[in-house]
Amino acid sequence: MLTHLRVRRFAIIDQLEVGFGPGLNVVTGETGAGKSILVSALQLVLGAKARPEMVRTGAERAEVEALFDIRDDASARTRLAAMGIEDEELVVRRVVEAEGRTRAYVNGKLATAAQLAELAAGLVDISSQHQHHTLADSGTHLGFLDGFAGLGRERTELAERWRAWVAARNVADEADAAARARGDREDLLRFQVGEIDKLAPKPGEEEALGEQIGRLRHGAQLAGLTTRGEEALYSGEADIVGQLTRVVADLQSGARVDPALAPLAQQLDGARAEVEDVGRELGRYGRTLRADPQRLAELEERQHQLRRLARKFGGTLAEALVYRETAAAELSALGGAEERAGALRAAAGAALAEVTALARAMSARRRAEAARLGAAITEELASLGMGEARVEVAVALEERPGEVLVDGGRLGATGFDRVEFLIATNRGEAPRPLRKVASGGELSRALLALKRVLAAQGPVGLYVFDEVDTGVGGAVAEVIGQKLHEVSQHHQVLCITHLAQIAVYADTHFQVRKEVVEDRTRSAVRLLSPTERDDEIARMVGGIHVGEATRRAAAEMIRAARGETARHGG
């Protein structure tokens, strides 16, 4: 709700501050007094394009400041919180320099034009000389149809399920991407483990191979030296074992004479036995040696493969075997990624099926309720003096790019549907989008009819009407006043009017006057007391010369309006 509007050096306004109340706020005054300047100032603070000519002549800058009470507006508080401001009041200030620069402030903090536009959305709906907002924006029509059809709970549920599907889809997409990445890694690891396993190296194998290759490569040399060693130690004519045997026999014979030789004989006999063992072993070793070029080639090839594997996986065969165990463990951990991704895709598919089913049901309800809403608005227009007008509520498949295509339509958080209000203001005309209606007065009345039918549904806190009384009078003007007051039971309304039949329904009445002070024209706004309001209504009824009969007529209009609003709970 707008509670205060302060304007400084704006057009012909030098300085004024207006405090608005709940319900229906009416602004009246002579033609040219500057009533619509209030609307222009409000539009500026809500983000309208600033122009240097808005600055009062001779001033350096113009300032407009608006105070909104947003305690009951959760959406506005959420948008404010997004700017880092937690408050139940919203103060928007716009400054326009004479040279054209502008600045915007929200609760004292500098704000960008985009932030201001986002924050102001839903605060005020202005219908003034084609400067109309929420209801003329076809993007809001779906919400109004859903409100009329009582689909608020289903709309919330659909949005929640849509977000759940989007989250599930994103998780599945990430799992797919991760599975593809894991798949590439898994393929690499599986290949590497397979490569190592195919060669099947054993710990210490490289050293053992070196020994075998050396034996085969130098077999003749080894055979010669081992044969000579065997002959010298054991099998030759003058072998060492034979000589030692004779010496041992001599010592044993001498020990019978002198026992002191016995230990020496025993020690030497042990040495003879060891020499004999070495000689025999040399013989056996030499007899195993034989030339085998094929076996040598096989062993050398095996050695080459092991060395290549070692270089590829760490530098040594031991490091390659450690890498194999590490890779096998990682491969085991990666296993099942594709299965998990498949399960997540199935969950996302189930979530999409839920969204689709609910969206189809909502589409059926919307199409059924669209005709009823169009008829209700058409009936309201007839009571507002537009009996030839006809409203249609068109429901079509949405064409949003980038969203999922289901059943030939684009499914989004609000379902499949795109809704737009179409109006034909005269018989025989084809209905056209509401935003293309030509007459400002007809547009304002069309919006009033929409707001009357949807009075409790719209998110807007303040409706502003300037021109709603254009081209009407008498009974139609009185009906417009009644409708405005009915709308004001759900939303704050500000109406600028020339007609007493409308002004008498005001909960709060302001008068705009143009005056000359020190050779400068300025516009002033003041809140009327009950007596002053009676005088203003009389002026609007009788013109310049207000007689007693006019005052009685004005008083009767006020009493009738009070009785009417009392019957309607006003």
Domains and CATH numbers, the chain: 1-123+460-570 (3.40.50.300), 183-334 (no CATH)
In this predicted structure, what is the pLDDT of residue 230?
78
- Count of other CB atoms within 10 angstroms of residue 50: 21
Distance CA 126, CA 351 (A): 40
Q: What are phi and psi of 525, to 5 degrees?
A: -125, 135
Relative to beta strand 109-111, strand 404-406 is unpaired
What predicted TM-score, i.e. pTM, was given to this entire model? 0.61
Which phi-psi region, left, alpha or beta, contains residue 379 (left: φ > 0; alpha: ψ -120 to 50)? Answer: alpha
Radius of gyration of the chain (CA): 50
pLDDT digits (tens, 9 = 90+) for 126-171: 776 545 456 667 888 888 899 888 888 898 899 899 989 888 888 8
| CB neighbour list of residue 144: distance below 8 Å, 6 or more residues apart | 135, 419, 450, 454, 457, 458
Distance CA 467, CA 129 (A): 7
- Give, for 424, the enclosing helix (H) or strand (E): strand 417-424
Q: CB of 93 within 8 A of CB of 64?
A: yes
Which residues in the chain come in under a pLDDT of 70?
128-136, 181-184, 219-220, 291, 333, 335-338, 399-403, 406-409, 437-443, 455-460, 544, 564-570
Closest CA to 133 of 39, 57, 221: 39
Q: What are phi and psi of 335, to 5 degrees?
A: -60, 140
In this predicted structure, what is the pLDDT of residue 364?
93
3-state secondary structure of 466: strand
Closest CA to 415 of 397, 391, 435: 397
3-state secondary structure of 86: coil
In this predicted structure, what is the pLDDT of residue 358?
92
pLDDT digits (tens, 9 = 90+) for 258-307: 889 899 989 998 998 998 888 888 888 877 777 677 877 888 888 888 88
Q: Which residues of 559-570 are buried (b: 16+ CB within 10 A; e: fewer)?
A: eebeebbeeeeb
Q: Hey, what are 516's tokens?
A: 């000359």
In this predicted structure, what is the pLDDT of residue 394?
92
pLDDT digits (tens, 9 = 90+) for 178-206: 777 666 677 777 888 888 888 888 888 88
Distance CA 151, CA 453 (A): 16
Distance CA 223, CA 289 (A): 6
Distance CA 524, CA 509 (A): 14
Determine the Cα angle at 102 with ends 96 and 106, to 5°.
100
- Count of other CB atoms within 10 angstroms of residue 480: 29
